[in-house]
Structure 1
């Protein structure tokens, strides 16, 4: 992936914790972002913080 594309940060991502609005698992999101060399990722689930702990742990794991 070109360096300029790695600087892009997704700031509107719903996970499977956003009922009826997202289906991506936090672990897969973090893994894929790492594979693509992305430096950051944001999750914006609707009305819940259920994914916060798993997102933090997966972000640490995948750098």
Structure 2
């Protein structure tokens, strides 16, 4: 049984606010996830919640 794209959520995503291993800007991550059909995305930055503001 295949999962629909909205049945899967990436739960380990680092933004530019995770120093040394950040993936990208939050807006870019959201745009890419949306373009691929995802309706949610977890943000799990290291050591700070700067991206939540």
User: Any idea what SS the aligned residue of 1:40 has?
Assistant: coil
Unpaired runs of 5+ residues, structure 2, are none
Gaps of 5+ in 1: 54-63
Q: Which runs of 4+ in 1 moved over 4 A?
A: none
For residues 25-56 of structure 1, the C-alpha deviation after alignment (integer angstroms, 9 at most, x for no partner) is 10000011111110110000001001112xxx
> Which protein has greater RCO, CA pairs closer than 8 Å, 6+ apart?
2
CA contact (8 A) 1:7 1:39 kept: no
TM-score by length of 1: 0.71
- TM-score by length of structure 2 reads 0.83
